[in-house]
Structure 1
Amino acid sequence: MERKSYPTDLTDMEWEILAPLIPPAKEGGHPPTTDMGEICNAIYYHLKTGCQWNMLPGDFPPKSTVYSYYRKWHGQGVWEKFNHTLGGQVRSKLGKSTQPIALAADSQSVNTGPKKGDVYGFDGCKKVKGRKGHTLVDSLGLMLKLVVSEANAPERILAAYALMELLEEPTELLEKVQVLWVDSGYDGDKFALAVWFLIQAHVEVIGPTEQEFKVLPQPWVVERTFGWFNQYHRLSKDYERLTQMREGAIYALMTRIMLLPLVSSTFTL
């Protein structure tokens, strides 16, 4: 009997895009019987609703199987590879180069749940006790790199660290970058010099002036990305014991978001 459909389910067109990116099963042994499309549907359902793994609807594959793939794919960097591949496809569809020339960086602090683990702190500016996600996005708000730390971690150090992590990956995403947009929390000659040494781009601090109020769209593409995060109840708090699993959840939900403009003729970011 065909199972009940959920709003988070992949459409046939979305699955056609995602399916080739799924890691193949290991050779040898018993032929795989798991429906990988249903694994993805269960993961997206979990992220959207925020339900516990053992409370997934019974018409999905067993929760132990779903969680095993979810965690294994993060450990192997699969979710992040999905992001880079789908992000390039989105940029191409919108008529942009797959290699961005402008980036934006910012951070979002969230409270931790009962299982807060060892990495947590207090963000005095935002009055949040928990963790902070340092996010690096392109000019469309598509995520390139995420680093989760304690909430009181210095923003400039973690932004530089995110750039270093991205440079070590087998991608060419930073080769054409000319400018990094940030807010006043990242101001300073040392940070600007570090960015120049890493990617030969200059830092542009965007903020209001005393003389004039004006709309400042460039760095706030990150805020729109944070708004996408807020649509997924699993991210309302950091429920994970390990920071890596928080990162995995955000990379996973971004894959779901980026599939929408790829299958729609009218949807834009």
Structure 2
Amino acid sequence: MTRLPEIAYPPRKPYPSDLSDAEWEILKPLVPKPKGFGHPVEVDFREIFNGIFYVQRTGCQWEMMPHNLPPYSTVYNYFQKWQRKGIWQLLHDQVRQQLRTELGRNEQSTVAIADSQSVKTTGKKGEVYGFDGGKKVKGRKRHLVVDSQGLLIGVLVSEANASERLGAVVVLDEAKEKLSKLEVVWVDQGYSGKNFANAVKQVCGEKVLVEVIERTSGTFVRLPKRWIVERTFGWLNRFRRLSKDYELYSEISEAMIYGSLIRLMVRRLAA
């Protein structure tokens, strides 16, 4: 029987979400290395990241990924495994340190800005689900703490009806190893009160001040210092997967946020 010759297909055209050569050179050394035993790894990690970034940027379902990317099950399994092992946060923090150094900043920030954002979910998602009566949103709440450059220090995804003060304290407590030089936390009026200020001091140290940036006008204005965290929320809006919370588990939602910001920071470093 005559064997047909193999057809050499040209390399696929890149998607806008793909890593460039320069961006991959930044991310490649940070990818977890195989343990050295068992079946050898045969996947192309650059294409795994390209598949993950494609889903985050376009907002499509995993099984809707284009066929010229790796199988969606392989891509999702790596995304989930890295979430379970805390690798997304580790990668994010390493890239963030590189970017802060590139910007002429110390690795640890002396400033933190806290805020929250309520987002809808597609139906009732898992156990982490609630109703934000103030924003009239059924879903979840993203608690962010960022540095003076708007780069993420920590994130917590909770029920939409969760206290934003408590959420900020939890994030600060989980990120306190990255906040040894912290001097001030800027917040809006929703975080005012002695109880919150005392909780921040207990978590971050007695010398840390909580400064409330109050709105002085009834119309919309860009508040000093407060716009930094609002810009970070705007960065998240570039990724359609984050337009709502589509994930069943809040831990996956947090990994989605870390992954999206990794993509933005790598692009800035390569530029």
Matched, 1:175 2:184: no
Q: Cα deviations across residues 95-125 of structure 1 (Å, max 9, x unaligned)?
A: 1111100000000110011351121111111
For residue 17 of structure 2, what is the aligned residue in structure 1? Answer: 8
For residue 229 of structure 1, what is the aligned residue in structure 2? Answer: 236
Q: Which amino acid aligns with 2:204?
A: I
- Deviating more after overlay: 225-234 vs 27-36: 27-36
Q: Which amino acid aligns with 1:235?
A: L
* C-alpha separation in 1, matches of 2:268 and 2:258: 17
Q: Are the aligned partners of 1:83 and 1:144 in contact in 2 as well (CA < 8 Å)?
A: no
* C-alpha separation in 2, matches of 1:20 and 1:115: 39
What TM-score does the superposition give when structure 2 sets the normalisation length? 0.92
* C-alpha separation in 2, matches of 1:134 and 1:73: 21
For residue 256 of structure 1, what is the aligned residue in structure 2? Answer: 263
Q: CA RMSD in A?
A: 1.7
Which of 205, 213, 227 in structure 2 is aligned with 1:206? 213
Q: Cα deviations across residues 212-268 of structure 1 (Å, max 9, x unaligned)?
A: x9752312211111101111111111111111110010011010010122111xxxx
* C-alpha separation in 2, matches of 1:107 and 1:189: 19
Q: Cα deviations across residues 178-218 of structure 1 (Å, max 9, x unaligned)?
A: 0000000000101101111211211000012369x975231
* C-alpha separation in 2, matches of 1:199 and 1:54: 43
Q: Classify the secondary structure of the residue corresponding to 2:182.
A: coil
For residue 202 of structure 2, what is the aligned residue in structure 1? Answer: 197
Which of 178, 186, 189 in structure 2 is aligned with 1:184? 189
Q: Are the aligned partners of 2:62 and 2:72 in contact in 1 as well (CA < 8 Å)?
A: yes
Gapped runs of 5+ residues in structure 1?
A: 265-269
Q: Classify the secondary structure of the residue corresponding to 2:178.
A: coil
Gapped runs of 5+ residues in structure 2?
A: 1-9
For residue 4 of structure 2, what is the aligned residue in structure 1? Answer: none
Q: Are the aligned partners of 1:103 and 1:179 in contact in 2 as well (CA < 8 Å)?
A: yes
For residue 243 of structure 1, what is the aligned residue in structure 2? Answer: 250
* C-alpha separation in 2, matches of 1:73 and 1:113: 24
Q: How does 1:91-106 map to 2 (within 5 A)?
A: 91-106=100-115
Higher Cα radius of gyration: 2
* C-alpha separation in 1, matches of 2:250 and 2:39: 34
For residue 152 of structure 2, what is the aligned residue in structure 1? Answer: 143
Q: Classify the secondary structure of the residue corresponding to 1:129.
A: strand
Which of 28, 37, 45 in structure 1 is aligned with 2:37? 28
* C-alpha separation in 1, matches of 2:122 and 2:150: 27
Q: Which amino acid aligns with 1:24?
A: K
Matched, 1:46 2:51: no
* C-alpha separation in 1, matches of 2:222 and 2:82: 40
Q: Classify the secondary structure of the residue corresponding to 1:131.
A: strand
Q: How does 1:107-186 map to 2 (within 5 A)?
A: 107-114=116-123, 116-167=125-176, 172-186=177-191
Q: Which amino acid aligns with 1:20?
A: P
* C-alpha separation in 2, matches of 1:236 and 1:191: 29
Q: Which amino acid aligns with 2:37?
A: G
Q: Are the aligned partners of 1:115 and 1:240 in contact in 2 as well (CA < 8 Å)?
A: no
